[in-house]
C-alpha cells in the first residue's frame, strides 16, 4: 500500500513554478503524440516509403505527357505516292496510326466502339484545290470524353494541318521554281527574237519567231498556274509579290505580238514589240529572284529557335528536369499536407470520442496546452518524415537549389498551416470516419487546385481565393522555387501560409474551447 505523501508535496508548490507546470503539460501532450506514432512503425514507413515508391514508379513508368491516340488515316486514291508518304509521316508524328485500312464508314464505327480515338480523312484533289485557290479540308473526328484529351486532339490536329500545309506549299513552290527556271531559259531567247523583228525579217522567219513566242507563252502560262497562292508572297517585296501579275502581263503582251505577227504589219506594231520585250526582261529578272529563294523560306518565312536559358547556367542540353524530378517537390508538399491534415483531423475527434476531454477538463491542463503539445508532436513527426523523404529524393537526383534554411522554414509553415486545416476538420467531424472523409475531400481539392498536376493558371479568377486557402498550393509553388529554380518564393507564398496557420489556430482554439466546455 502506498504511504500518503505529505500534503501537496507532489504538486510543485511555488507560484513561480506555474510556468514550469505549463510547459510540463505541453510536454505531456507532445510526448504522448510522439510515442503513440512511434509505436506504429508501419505508419512511419508508409509516410516516407509510400510517396517515394510512388515517385520511383512514376519516374520509371512515365514515358510521355501526350495522350496516345489510336488513329486511322484515310487518304484519297489520287494522292501522289510521294505526298502520301509525306502526309502519313507527318500525321504519325502526333498520332499513333493503326495498321489497318478503313473506309470512312468503318472508321467512324470503330471510333464509336472505342477501337479508335481519332479518324482523319484527307479529301480528293488536294493539289487541284490548292491551285484553284480553294481550301482542302482534312476531316478529323474523335469520340473523346476527356476534355483534356479533346483539347490535345484539337491542338495536335491544328499543328499537324499546319505541317501538311507547309509540306504541300513547299512542294508546289518547288514545282513552280522548276517551271520558272525553264521559262527563264526561254525568255532570253524570246526577247532576242523580238529584237530581230525590229529589223527586216522574211515572212518565213516571222512565222518561225511566232511559233517560238507561242511556245514561250505556253510555258509562261504553265508557270503562272504553278505559282503558289499570292498570300504566300506577302511581305517579300514587289519583285516576288507581283510575279503572277507580271506573268499575266507577259502573256497578254505575247498575245498582242502574236496578233501583230498574224497581221504582218510590223511597222505599226513596233512599239508593242518593244514593250513586250521589256516585259519579258522584267519577268526574267523577277523569275531570277524567285528561283533563288529556298522554297522553305517562301512557305515558312519565320522560323523558330528555342533555348532554355537554364542550359547556359547548368551546361546541359536540356534545361527542363525529368518529369520525376519536376513532380518531386509536389509530392513532398502533398505528403506534408496530407499527413498533417490526416493526423490533425483524427487528433481531437479521437480524444473527444474516447472521453479524454472529460479527463483533461478535470485536470488543471487547459486546451491551449493540448493544442500546442499536439502541434509540436505532429510537427516533429512530419519533419522527420519529410527529412527522410527529402534525403531519399536527393539520392534520386532531386536538387535543392536554394538554401536549406528557407526550405526548412517553408516546410514548417506548410506543416503548421496544414495541421490547422486538419484540426479544424477535427473540430467539426462527428466521428473518425467523418474526419477521414473530410481529409480525403481536402486531398482531392488539393490535387485538383494546388497546381500539382493542373496549372493554377487554368482556373477562373474567382476560384483563386479557394486555391490560396489550400496550403499545398503554396507548398508546391514554394518547393518548386526553392528546390528546382533556386529562387526565393514570392512573398504571397509565405504570407498566405502564415495567414492560414494563424486563422486556423485561432478558429481551432475557439471551437475546441467550446467543445472542451461541453465535454
Partner 1 sequence: MTSTRANAIESHNVSLIFGENAGVFDQTYTVSEGTILGLIGPSGCGKTTTVRLALGLYRPHKGTIRVLGANPATFRAEQQARIGYIPQQFVLYPNLSVAENAEFLASLYGMRRHQIRRRLDELLEFVDLASARNRLGRQLSGGMQRRLMLVGALMHDPDLIFADEPTAGIDPVLRGRFWDYFRTLRDQGRTLLITTQIVSEAMYCDYVAVMRQGRLLAMDTPQNLKRRALGGEIIHLTLANPANLAKAVGALRRCPHVKEVRYVPESDRELYVTVDDAGDWIPEVLNVLEDPNGPNIVVESAEELALTFDDVFIRIIRQWEDQPIDQTADAMMGRESYGQHSANTSHTAHPDHPASRR
State the residue for C-alpha cell 509565405.
494
Site residues for partner 1, window 278-337 (CB under 8 A)?
none
Minimum CB distance to partner 1 smaller for 265 or for 358: 358
All three cell numbers of 492, joined, read 504571397
Q: Which of 189, 323, 383, 519 binds partner 1 (CB under 8 A)?
A: 519
Q: How far is the CB of 419 from partner 1 (least distance, A)?
A: 20
Least distance (Å) from partner 1 to the CB of residue 46?
A: 16
CB-wise, 356 or 408, nearer to partner 1? 356
CB nearer to partner 1: pick between 193 and 352: 352
* Contact set for partner 1, span 113-142 (CB under 8 A): none
User: Taking the complex as a whole, how short is the minimal distance between the CB of residue 368 and partner 1, in angstroms?
Assistant: 13
Give the binding range for partner 1 (CB under 8 A) out of 7-15, 77-85, 89-97, 498-506: 7-15
| CA dist., res. 411 & res. 383, Å (int) | 8
Q: Closest separation between CB of residue 67 and partner 1, Å?
A: 46
**Based on CB atoms, which residue is closest to partner 1, 17 or 225?**
17
For partner 1, the closer CB: 26 or 213:
26
Strand partners, 74: 121
Rank residues 22 and 459 by Cβ distance to partner 1 and give the closer one.
22
- How far is 323 from 333, CA to CA, in rounded Å? 16
Least distance CB 1 / partner 1 (angstroms): 5
Does 42 sit near partner 1 (CB under 8 A)?
A: no
Q: Candidates 35-43, 86-94, 263-271, 496-504: pick the segment binding partner 1 (CB under 8 A).
A: 35-43
- The β-bridge partners of 96 are 70
Interface segment toward partner 1; rule CB under 8 A; list 225-233, 349-357, 387-395, 434-442: 349-357
Q: Which C-beta is closer to partner 1: that of 22 or that of 448?
A: 22
Backbone angles phi and psi of 71, in degrees to 5? -130, 135
Q: To the nearest whole angstrom, how small is the minimum distance from the Cβ of residue 27 to partner 1?
A: 7
Residue numbers 69-108 binding partner 1 by CB under 8 A: none
Q: How far apart are CA 308 and CA 394, in angstroms?
A: 24
Where in 357-386 is the site for partner 1 (CB under 8 A)?
358-365
Report d(CA 499, CA 177) in Å as an integer.
68
Q: If we measure between CA atoms, which residue out of 376, 210, 177, 400 comes closest to residue 291?
A: 177
CB of 339 to partner 1, least distance (A): 17
Q: Which stretch binds partner 1 (CB under 8 A): 113-121, 205-213, 351-359, 463-471?
A: 351-359
The size of the interface with partner 1 (CB under 8 A), counted in residues, is 36
Nearest in space to 336 (alpha carbons), one of 373, 372, 374, 390: 390
CB 202 within 8 A of CB 182: no
Q: From the CB of 31, what's the least distance to partner 1, in Å?
A: 7
4: number of CA atoms within 13 Å, CB side?
3
**Pure H helices in 429-490:** 432-449, 464-469, 471-479
CB of 347 to partner 1, least distance (A): 12
Give yes or no for residue 45 binding partner 1 (CB under 8 A): no
CB under 8 A, 24+ apart: contacts of 165-171 = 166/299, 166/300, 167/83, 167/86, 167/87, 167/90, 168/83, 168/126, 168/127, 168/130, 169/130, 169/228, 169/232, 169/298, 169/299, 170/295, 170/296, 170/299, 171/83, 171/86, 171/295
| Candidates 18-26, 168-176, 250-258, 378-386; binding stretch for partner 1 (CB under 8 A) | 18-26
CA quadruple 331, 336, 339, 342: dihedral, nearest 10: -110
**Least distance (Å) between residue 37 CB and partner 1:** 8
- Joined grid coordinates for residue 293: 529563294
- Report yes or no: 41 and 88 within 8 Å, Cβ to Cβ: no
Q: At closest approach, how far in Å is the CB of 52 from partner 1?
A: 25
Q: How far apart are CA 487 and CA 477, in angstroms?
A: 11
Measured from the CB atom, the residue of 249 and 351 that comes closer to partner 1 is: 351
Alpha-carbon distance of 2 to 417, in angstroms, equals 47
**Binding residue for partner 1, selected from 14, 16, 39, 271, defined by CB under 8 A:** 39
Residue 514 interacts with partner 1 (CB under 8 A): yes or no: no
Q: At what angle do helices 367-395 and 323-354 cross, to 10 degrees?
A: 160
- Judged by the rule CB under 8 A, the positions of this chain that interact with partner 1 are 1-5, 9-12, 17-18, 20-22, 24-25, 27-28, 31-32, 35-36, 39-40, 354-356, 358-365, 519
Amino acid at each position: 500500500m502506498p504511504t500518503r505523501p505529505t500534503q501537496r508535496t507532489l504538486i510543485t508548490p511555488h507560484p513561480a513554478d506555474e510556468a514550469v507546470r505549463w510547459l510540463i503539460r505541453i510536454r505531456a501532450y507532445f510526448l504522448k503524440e510522439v510515442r503513440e506514432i512511434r509505436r506504429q512503425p508501419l505508419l512511419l514507413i508508409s509516410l516516407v516509403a509510400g510517396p517515394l515508391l510512388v515517385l520511383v514508379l512514376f519516374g520509371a513508368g512515365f514515358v510521355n505527357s501526350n495522350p496516345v491516340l489510336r488513329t486511322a488515316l484515310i487518304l484519297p486514291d489520287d494522292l501522289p505516292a510521294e505526298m502520301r508518304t509525306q502526309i502519313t509521316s507527318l500525321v504519325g508524328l502526333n498520332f499513333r496510326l493503326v495498321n489497318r485500312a478503313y473506309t470512312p464508314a468503318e472508321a467512324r464505327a470503330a471510333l464509336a466502339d472505342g477501337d479508335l480515338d481519332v479518324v482523319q480523312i484527307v479529301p480528293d484533289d488536294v493539289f487541284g484545290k490548292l491551285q484553284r485557290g480553294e481550301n482542302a479540308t482534312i476531316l478529323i473526328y474523335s469520340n473523346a470524353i476527356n476534355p483534356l484529351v479533346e483539347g490535345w486532339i484539337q491542338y495536335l490536329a491544328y499543328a499537324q494541318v499546319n505541317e501538311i500545309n507547309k509540306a504541300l506549299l513547299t512542294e508546289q513552290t518547288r514545282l513552280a521554281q522548276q517551271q520558272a527556271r525553264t521559262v527563264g531559259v526561254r525568255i532570253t531567247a524570246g526577247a532576242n527574237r523580238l529584237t530581230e523583228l525590229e529589223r527586216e525579217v522574211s515572212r518565213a522567219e516571222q512565222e518561225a519567231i511566232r511559233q517560238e513566242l507561242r511556245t514561250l507563252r505556253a510555258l509562261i502560262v504553265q508557270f503562272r498556274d504553278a505559282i503558289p497562292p499570292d498570300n504566300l508572297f506577302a511581305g517579300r517585296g514587289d519583285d516576288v509579290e507581283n510575279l503572277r501579275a507580271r506573268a499575266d502581263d507577259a502573256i497578254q503582251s505575247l498575245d498582242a505580238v502574236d496578233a501583230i505577227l498574224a497581221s504582218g504589219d510590223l511597222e505599226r506594231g513596233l512599239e508593242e514589240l518593244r514593250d513586250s520585250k521589256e516585259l519579258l526582261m522584267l519577268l526574267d529578272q523577277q523569275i531570277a529572284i524567285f528561283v533563288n529563294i529556298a522554297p522553305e523560306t517562301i512557305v515558312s518565312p519565320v522560323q523558330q529557335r528555342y533555348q532554355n536559358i537554364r542550359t547556359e547556367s547548368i551546361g546541359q542540353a536540356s534545361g527542363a528536369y525529368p518529369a520525376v524530378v519536376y513532380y518531386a517537390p509536389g509530392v513532398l508538399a502533398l505528403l506534408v499536407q496530407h499527413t498533417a491534415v490526416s493526423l490533425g483531423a483524427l487528433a481531437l475527434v479521437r480524444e473527444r470520442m474516447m472521453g479524454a476531454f472529460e479527463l483533461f477538463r478535470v485536470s488543471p491542463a487547459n486546451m491551449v496546452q493540448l493544442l500546442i503539445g499536439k502541434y509540436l508532436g505532429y510537427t516533429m513527426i512530419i519533419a522527420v518524415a519529410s527529412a527522410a523523404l527529402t534525403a531519399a529524393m536527393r539520392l534520386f537526383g532531386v536538387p535543392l537549389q536554394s538554401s536549406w534554411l528557407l526550405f526548412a522554414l517553408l516546410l514548417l509553415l506548410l506543416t503548421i498551416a496544414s495541421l490547422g486545416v486538419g484540426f479544424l476538420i477535427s473540430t467539426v467531424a462527428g466521428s473518425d470516419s467523418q474526419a477521414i472523409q473530410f481529409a480525403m475531400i481536402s486531398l482531392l481539392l488539393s490535387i485538383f487546385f494546388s497546381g500539382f498536376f493542373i496549372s493554377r493558371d487554368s482556373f477562373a479568377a474567382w476560384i483563386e481565393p479557394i486555391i490560396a486557402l489550400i496550403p499545398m498550393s503554396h507548398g508546391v509553388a514554394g518547393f518548386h522555387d526553392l528546390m528546382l529554380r533556386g529562387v526565393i518564393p514570392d512573398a504571397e507564398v509565405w504570407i498566405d501560409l502564415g495567414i492560414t496557420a494563424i486563422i486556423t489556430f485561432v478558429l481551432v482554439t475557439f471551437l475546441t474551447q467550446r467543445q472542451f466546455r461541453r465535454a
